[in-house]
Structure 1
């Protein structure tokens, strides 16, 4: 049997702002943007070359979801983005205006730099 995580939900305040950040600043691919109703869309983005796991950008619906924006993991790092060239991608993100919360550092498991999306994640 093979199983994979197909998508991880990220609650955002606005679909189009989130799509713009993840595609234009991070270079993710827009996999799908399907309107489900007047208020809801099914929006999937993923890093280039990602074959299985997608990020589902879900617009907050109600006060509880709005309150979770930017703190969906209780202050822990939300996503770990692996790359085949850390320095290239870090520079590209800096050039695109991505906010980094710290300078790159080396850990036993690899090079690390923590960035933030415009919504606090």
Structure 2
């Protein structure tokens, strides 16, 4: 599992579940003001732990956890289907689809600004 800093739990859940179509796997409140929130693509073995930023340093890192580089890779078995669905849901692609030796890729951003790759590896349909 990978932790992703967010400014507010419910806004992040709305984005990942509503826009991406991820499933909400867990949303519990183990301690005061904190929640254990996990979202993941349907059928994925792993998910994202949405961690609310605490303090100025963490708040500054929301949306820039990787210094402007691609932060995570979202694999698909049907690039065209998912690219179209995400585009129709208002996901902002910052780099058009392109072919690499390892697959088809397009770069998109979360509403926070973190960059992710949508990728269909060449082995996905083999």
One fold, TM greater than 0.5? yes
- Cα deviation for residue 107 of structure 1 reads 0.9
1:80 deviation in Å? Answer: 0.4
Residue-by-residue CA offset, 1:91-114 (whole Å, 9 max, x unaligned): 000010111101111111111111
Greater strand fraction, Structure 1 or Structure 2: 2
Give the equivalent residue in structure 2 for 1:89.
Answer: 82
Alignment partner of 2:20 out of 26, 38, 59: 26
3-state secondary structure, aligned to 2:21 = coil
Secondary structure in 1 aligned to 2:26? strand
Superposition pairs of residues 35-114 of structure 1, within 5 angstroms = 35-51=29-45, 53-114=46-107
SS at match of 1:27: coil
Gaps of 5+ in 1: 1-6
- The separation in 2 between residues aligned to 1:12 and 1:56, in whole angstroms, is 10
Larger mean Cα displacement after TM superposition, 37-46 or 60-69: 37-46
TM-score under structure 2 length normalisation: 0.87
Aligned length: 114
For 1:77 and 1:102, how far apart are their aligned partners in 2?
11
**Residue number among 10, 13, 20 corresponding to 1:16 in the alignment:** 10
Structure having greater relative contact order (Cα 8 Å, sep ≥ 6): 1
Per-residue CA distance 1:53-90 (angstroms, 9 max, x = gap) = 21000010010100111111122101100001000000
